């Protein structure tokens, strides 16, 4: 099995894919602009061991074959691999001794409310007067508190309990952990393979054709960052990169800011346990190799961490919760705004600005790339909320990780993930507008449009699942070029000429005059130095014009459940317009079946209209291949419906 601890990750070996190496060299030789960002939409289909030991539909071979033949996984035997989702935990035991009580007393005061900590210490001290206790299960330790004189009303949070458990933990046998494996070389989904190879090729331009060094950040992961390390490191190694794990997370950020690496395990578990998924117990013992690496990166004010970041040709941010990525790099000021940028934030942003680093990420790693200034206005980052919920209620100010709420608040919010916006954005390496992920599948067009309007942006960019928006470095004329790779498309909302108003006396929004574009692989866009957007659809797909006079052609395409989460119905409505040759499209929430949001009060409509400059290009489904439809300058609007929700007005 591989060594438990290596600052450079597991040994990276070149893939036996000649075309992969030649692609990066060809890009260098062709004079094409290097890629600055690879912005993925999430939900890539990859060959991963958590699908089980049997051959998965996402893999082209069984795991015995993969482990023997994928160079990135050399050193792993079947017995070393975790075939499942959860890392097994031992039965933890605790002790109440003078030493453990002192450990709790010395734990960081910032992690437990002072009054609750004082009360807890007093009652544990009273129990200790009755004699030390060892080998206690967690319930047995809690029982001791319950029988203490003047039983305390503790009210500790899960994060606070994680600190208590760390302090009182009884030393045990070292854990030999298993590894989750992921192979890009043996992934069956060609689109997903293309995304990772595109990233490796992009990073190779910064390594002058040599094997690129790519850092992996899993700060966003749930239930905690270490869990997602293996899958992402192996995937990029299998795609041809040298990979180093970067153990950034909110706990490390707190330890660095406090100058307290000694208690790093407390900060790590405490921060991870603020997730609503489940408390995190003893991450330093479950993942001893990664905890040791994180401790080394914390030491000396993060000197090794900073040096490692300066050595990278690319960096990849994994999926999960984008606010957790944010809190690994930026702290909050006294007004709860994320403005206290770290040394690591500055290193990454500067190296990207100098053209030395390609930044990539999927889902949450998509969102964290946004930020900076566009026309002197801060570019925000969004999190949580579905399209209907956002149209009706707008965004709240993001304060901490979004999408992690207690069940008691889920019912009142009307959606599992409340809509929040972080007005100062994320890493700030994509400044052209608001970013969104999981786009068409989750019907997020309205969510993106309202975010762009609320923040006075010109544009919003939504990336479909298993798809990436490629962003070039800016050329000498000040123009940045965009293209698409993968299974889906990229939606661009141009809100420069759009108008919005409140509906009656509610926060619900009426939106008119958005120009929408939807690009597929082969289509391109560019934004010049003046901020002007130009979209070019590939001529390989025929133009789909209006079919007036054809008896079977409707003047208006229609679509029910147009804002339902997970339906993809907005894209379906636009596709019907294009393929049917309709002049307009109209969708409504009247028949919504969305279990996450009740969409009847008010009902909403989506209105789509061809303009003289609208162009649809597409190919119908044939020979097992899905239909393809791209469009540009389609006018879009959203409004609450009065009466019967009939589509009669232009947007």
In this structure, of 172-181, 195-204, 542-551, the range with the lowest mean pLDDT score is 542-551
Contact indicator for 635, 608 with CB cutoff of 8 Å: yes
For the chain, helix, strand, coil in percent to 5 are 30, 25, 45
- Predicted confidence band at 430 (pLDDT cuts at 50, 70, 90)? very high
> Residue 278: its pLDDT value, please?
72
Distance, in Å, from the CA atom of 368 to the CA atom of 319, rounded to the nearest integer, reads 10
What pLDDT does 146 receive? Answer: 72
| Average confidence (pLDDT) over 565-578 | 97
Model confidence over 456-490: pLDDT tens digits?
A: 999 999 999 999 999 999 999 999 999 999 999 99
DSSP element (H, E) containing 127: helix 114-128
Whether the pLDDT of residue 607 is over 90: the answer is yes
Question: Confidence band (pLDDT; 50, 70, 90) for 550?
Answer: low
pLDDT for res 275: 77
Quick one: which of 406, 118, 168, 121 has its CA closest to 282? 168
625 pLDDT higher than 60: yes
**Residue range 52-62, pLDDT digits in tens:** 998 999 999 99
31 pLDDT more than 90: no
Work out whether the CA dihedral 283, 286, 287, 289 comes out positive or negative. Answer: positive
Q: In this structure, what token pair is assigned to residue 149?
A: 């004189």
| pLDDT reading at 7 higher than 60 | no
Mean pLDDT of 413-430: 84
pLDDT tens-digit readout, 77-91: 999 999 988 888 999
- Residue 2: the pLDDT is 52
What per-residue confidence (pLDDT) applies to 152?
Answer: 53
Range of lowest pLDDT (184-198, 223-237, 302-316, 588-602): 588-602
- Which pLDDT belongs to residue 646? 67
pLDDT tens readout for residues 131-152: 999 999 988 988 887 765 555 5
User: How high is the mean pLDDT of the chain?
Assistant: 90
Euclidean distance between the first and final Cα of the chain, in Å? 61
Please state whether the predicted TM-score (pTM) of the whole model is above 0.95. no
User: What is the Cα 480 distance to its own chain's centre?
Assistant: 24
Query: Does residue 246 have a pLDDT over 60?
Result: yes
What pLDDT score does 26 carry?
36
- In this prediction, residues 580-590 reach a mean pLDDT of 96
CA distance 124 to 141: 10
For residue 481, give Cα distances in angstroms to 33, 473, 523, 529, 532: 9, 8, 11, 11, 12
pLDDT category of residue 1 using cuts at 50, 70 and 90? low
Mean pLDDT of 532-550: 90
Residue 215 confidence (pLDDT)? 99
């Amino acid at each position: 099995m591989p060594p438990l601890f290596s600052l450079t990750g597991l040994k990276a070996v070149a893939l036996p894919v000649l075309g992969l190496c030649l692609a990066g060299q060809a890009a260098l030789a062709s004079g094409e602009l290097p890629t600055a960002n690879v912005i993925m939409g999430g939900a890539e289909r990859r060959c991963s061991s958590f699908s089980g030991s049997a051959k998965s539909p996402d893999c082209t071979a069984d795991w015995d074959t993969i482990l023997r033949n994928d160079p990135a996984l050399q050193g792993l035997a079947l017995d070393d691999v975790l075939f499942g989702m959860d890392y097994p935990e031992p039965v933890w035991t605790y002790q109440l001794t003078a030493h453990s009580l002192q450990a709790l007393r010395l734990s960081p005061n910032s992690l437990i409310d002072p009054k609750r900590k004082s009360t807890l210490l007093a009652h544990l001290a009273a129990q200790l007067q009755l004699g030390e206790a060892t080998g206690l299960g967690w319930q047995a330790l809690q029982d001791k508190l319950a029988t203490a004189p003047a039983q305390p009303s503790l009210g500790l949070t899960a994060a606070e309990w994680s600190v208590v458990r760390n302090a009182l933990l009884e030393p045990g046998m070292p854990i030999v952990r298993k590894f989750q494996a992921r192979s890009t070389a043996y992934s069956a989904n060609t689109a997903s393979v293309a995304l990772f190879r595109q990233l490796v090729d992009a990073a190779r331009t910064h390594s002058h054709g040599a094997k690129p060094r790519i850092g992996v950040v899993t700060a966003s992961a749930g239930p905690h960052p270490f869990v997602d390390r293996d899958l992402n490191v192996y995937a990029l190694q299998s795609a041809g990169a040298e990979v180093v794990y970067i153990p950034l997370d909110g706990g490390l950020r707190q330890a660095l800011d406090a100058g307290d690496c000694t208690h790093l395990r407390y900060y790590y578990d405490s921060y991870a346990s603020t997730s609503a998924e489940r408390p995190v117990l003893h991450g330093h013992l479950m993942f001893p190799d990664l905890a040791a690496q994180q401790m080394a990166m914390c030491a000396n004010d993060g000197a090794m961490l900073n040096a490692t970041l300066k050595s990278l040709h690319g960096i990849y941010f994994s999926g999960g919760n984008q606010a957790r990525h944010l809190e690994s790099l930026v702290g909050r000021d006294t007004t709860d705004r994320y403005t206290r940028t770290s040394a690591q934030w500055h290193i990454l942003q500067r190296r990207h600005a100098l053209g030395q680093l390609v930044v990539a990420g999927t889902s949450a790693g998509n969102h964290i790339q946004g930020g900076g200034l566009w026309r002197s206005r801060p570019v925000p980052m969004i999190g949580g909320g579905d399209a209907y919920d956002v149209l009706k209620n707008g965004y709240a100010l993001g304060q901490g990780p979004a999408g992690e709420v207690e069940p008691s608040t889920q019912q009142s919010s009307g959606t599992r993930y409340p809509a929040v916006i972080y007005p100062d954005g994320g890493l700030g390496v994509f400044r052209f507008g608001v970013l969104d992920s999981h786009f068409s599948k989750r019907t997020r067009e309205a969510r993106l449009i309202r975010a762009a309007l609320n923040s006075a942006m010109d544009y919003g960019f939504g990336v479909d699942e298993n798809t990436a928006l490629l962003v070039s470095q800016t050329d000498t004329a000040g123009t940045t070029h965009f293209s698409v790779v993968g299974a889906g498309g990229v939606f661009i909302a141009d809100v420069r000429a759009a108008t919005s108003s409140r509906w009656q006396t509610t926060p619900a929004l009426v939106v008119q005059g958005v120009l929408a574009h939807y690009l597929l692989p082969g289509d391109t866009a560019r934004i010049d130095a003046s901020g002007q957007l130009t979209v070019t659809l590939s001529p390989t797909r025929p133009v789909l014009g209006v079919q007036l006079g054809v008896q079977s052609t409707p003047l208006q395409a229609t679509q029910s459940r147009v804002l339902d989460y997970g339906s993809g119905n907005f894209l379906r409505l636009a596709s019907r317009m294009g393929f049917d040759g309709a002049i307009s499209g109209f969708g409504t929430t009247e028949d919504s079946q969305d279990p996450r949001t009740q969409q009847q009060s008010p009902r909403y409509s989506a209105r789509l209209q061809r303009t003289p400059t609208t162009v649809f290009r597409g190919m119908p489904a044939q020979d097992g291949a899905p239909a393809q439809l791209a469009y540009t300058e389609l006018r879009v609007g959203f409004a609450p419906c009065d009466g019967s929700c009939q589509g009669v007005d232009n947007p």
